[in-house]
Chains A and B, each alone.
Chain A
Amino acid sequence: MWQTILRRILIMIPQIILVSILIFMLAQLMPGDPFYGNLNPNSDPATIERLRHAAGLDLPWYQQYFKWIGNVLHGDLGTSYVVNKGWTVTRIIGQRIWPTLSMGIIATILTYFLAITQALVSARNENKWIDRTFIVWNTMTSAVPSFVFYFIMMVLFVYIIPVFPSSGTGIDDTQSFFVNFFSNLRYAFLPALTIALFSTNSIYQYLRSNLLDQQAQDYVRTARAKGVQIKDVFRKHILRNAFLPIASQIGYSITGVLGGAMFAETVFGYPGIGALFVQALSGRDYTVITAVMLLQGILALLGGLLSDIISAWVDPRIRVK
């Protein structure tokens, strides 16, 4: 098992290199640069050129890439040009990662809780009104763009019934961890709940059809033939088999937990990694963009690894000896 994990981690190295090249090229392909919208339109073109030269932006992309990746390997992700001008990217991400993490964890737990509950109720009441209601609800939430719901929730729970703060993270660097932790909960909860409410569809559909599939399997008939009651067959046999593919998916949710939620963070004015990315994109803040994308790329690879480990752990058939 450990050997397999180690092998998987080694394979990740070339994958990360490839991801980093792609990210760098894509960022460079965007029209404009960090100085594009930030300077007085009447600035002397020679001044802009000087700034570009000082930042190394006039070099060919591969030279820029090697400079950048060299620095990244030394733990230097560069300095922000736009979002927090002059701050190191490490410092910006360090500040943003905590609110993203807290909201991501709450959102993921709530999403799974809501999706699993709905799927269980649906599968036990196949084709009855409650099942149909959940199907319609989930189809609708995935068909309508999520930010529409975010605005509705924002208006409802911030303006009409003002129970949640309108923006911010509730984190104050001068306060202790515990004070921050509880004050952040109030700020993180609304965006997290909103994300969860409207993103249950894929887990719900997947689990519901798994549950229905498993109910028709031969081993269920065997258990019934032993004289096991239907509800015990459901609890002891069907549930575990139906949850297998879901459990292995959980690894991928790490990307969402740490990678940030772009729309939700932006709409709810919750400055995490997702909102940072949107700001950086619109300001062409290359160093920030590449750093966040690299983080998300690595998280996606780790998520895959985590999922494989979870699968092997819960399914004896793919356990490696």
Chain B
Amino acid sequence: MNEKILDSKNVSVSFRINGELQTALHKISVSIKRGEVLALVGESGSGKSTLAMSIMGLHNAEQTEVTGSITLDGHELIGLTERQFDQYRGVRVGMIFQDPLSSLNPLMKIGEQISEAIVVHDKNAPNLKGHVQRLLTDVGIINPKRVAQQYPHELSGGMRQRVMIAIALSNEPDLIIADEPTTALDATIQAQILDLIKEIQLKKNAGILLITHDLGVVAETADTVAVMYAGQIVEQADVEELFANPKHPYTRSLLRADPSNVSPGEELYAISGTVPALKDMDHSKDLFLQRIPWLSDDVVNATIDEELEVVGDNHFVRGNAWKTFEFLDVTEKGHAK
């Protein structure tokens, strides 16, 4: 059970923008065991989806440079050709996307879209119709025969996401990447889809990489959490540890900004500023400190250790700021220890 299904070491991704390479991911190391759910959290622009696209090999090869190592069940993925990657995509790794309406082909029947995922890896797949219907039943669709004949626009949002999950599961992958699977859904449907993901984790014993910015989803689903900011991991820990004992100011701010932690009538807390643009990311610093107005410039601009510091059992934090300052609230309440 301890077998690492996904192991990424020092993964960096740069995009060629106007002829210049700009780093979007800087030395990311994460691993997922079979049956484990790793949640990647962070704001938009922090690089969560970029990591997922690197694992899937879906970056535009001409405009992207991926370095480091990503192994899937011991096989190196970085440097594979398109054709070689096609042997992994959809078979060993399945992916669930954010918006199930735009992620399904509007002109193709549901059944065709699922069977395509099977046929592309096995031209002579036996009993295709039965397989598709079994998959639809597995993801909790009550009337699989009818749904297979329908078009995406005829289904509800929750049903569409179930179909997306059926596609991701169609070849029993070792790893499932769920990129904000519940963001486009309403609250009750969200809960159902999360239950389904957890059920899959138990039944299929696959590793799950869950990308989200919703801490509620993390608390409910994940085993391990990696918090990302500006293309780097700033803190990583088991889920209970992270919620009980957050260290990095960004993690603390995220938890503070979670609306479910606010009592009625109280003002919502928001982190001021935004994630810096790719060209402004200097990964030798703790980039989040720029967003804390009361920190002095020498603290903000201090160069920090490249490695994450081990602060506990399976708990890693980036930078030093958390050691010298108390971060109750990023706006004003912080002070030196």
Contacts and interface: CB of A to CB of B under 8 A. Distances in A.
A317 B107 CA distance: 8
Which of A226, A230, A316 has the most C-beta atoms of chain B within 10 angstroms of its own C-beta? A226
A241 interface: yes
Query: Which of B91, B102, B170 counts the most chain A CB atoms within 10 A?
Result: B102
Contacts of B186: none
Nearest to A214: B105
A225 B90 contact: yes
A317 B94 CA distance: 28
A227 B120 contact: yes
Contacts of B83: 229
B89 interface: yes
B167 A227 contact: no
Contacts of B58: 221, 224-225
B74 interface: no
A225 B106 contact: no
A217 interface: yes
A218 B97 contact: yes
Interface string A215-249: 00111011111111110100011001100100000
A218 B86 contact: no
Given A218-B97, A316-B107, A223 B86 contact: no
B89 A224 contact: yes
Given A221-B97, A226-B120, A316 B104 contact: no
Q: Chain A interface: which size bin?
A: 20 to 34
A314 B151 CA distance: 13
A76 interface: no
B26 to A, nearest CB: 24
Interface in B77-135: 82-83, 86-91, 94-95, 97, 99, 102-108, 116-117, 120-121
A172 interface: no
Nearest to B154: A316
Given A225-B58, A227-B90, A218 B102 contact: yes
Contacts of B120: 226-228, 232
B107 A315 contact: yes
B164 interface: yes
Contacts of A315: 107
Nearest to B93: A225
Interface in A184-231: 217-219, 221-230
Contacts of B170: 226
A210 B98 CA distance: 23
Contacts of B87: 227
Nearest to B108: A237
Interface in A112-166: none
B56 interface: yes
Contacts of B153: 316-317
A226 B82 contact: no
Interface string B258-277: 00000000000000000000
A227 B121 CA distance: 8
A225 B89 CA distance: 5
Nearest to B112: A236
A232 B90 CA distance: 15
A244 B121 CA distance: 29
A240 B151 CA distance: 15
Contacts of A226: 89-90, 116-117, 120, 167, 170
B103 A317 contact: no
A227 B151 contact: no
Contacts of A237: 105, 108
B86 A219 contact: no
Contact of B91 (A217, A221, A222, A227): A227
Given A222-B164, A317-B151, A317-B153, A227 B103 contact: no
Contacts of A224: 56, 58, 89
B108 to A, nearest CB: 8
B144 to A, nearest CB: 19
Contacts of A241: 105-107
A91 B294 CA distance: 91
Interface string B25-64: 0000000000000000000000000000000101000000
5 cross-chain pairs, A with B, having the tightest CB-CB distances, nearest first = A227-B90, A218-B102, A226-B90, A227-B89, A226-B117
24 contacts: A218-B97, A218-B102, A219-B102, A221-B103, A222-B95, A224-B56, A224-B58, A225-B58, A225-B94, A226-B89, A226-B90, A226-B116, A226-B117, A227-B88, A227-B91, A227-B117, A227-B121, A229-B82, A236-B116, A241-B106, A244-B107, A315-B107, A316-B151, A317-B151
Given A224-B89, A241-B105, 6 more contacts: A219-B105, A221-B103, A227-B121, A228-B86, A232-B120, A237-B108
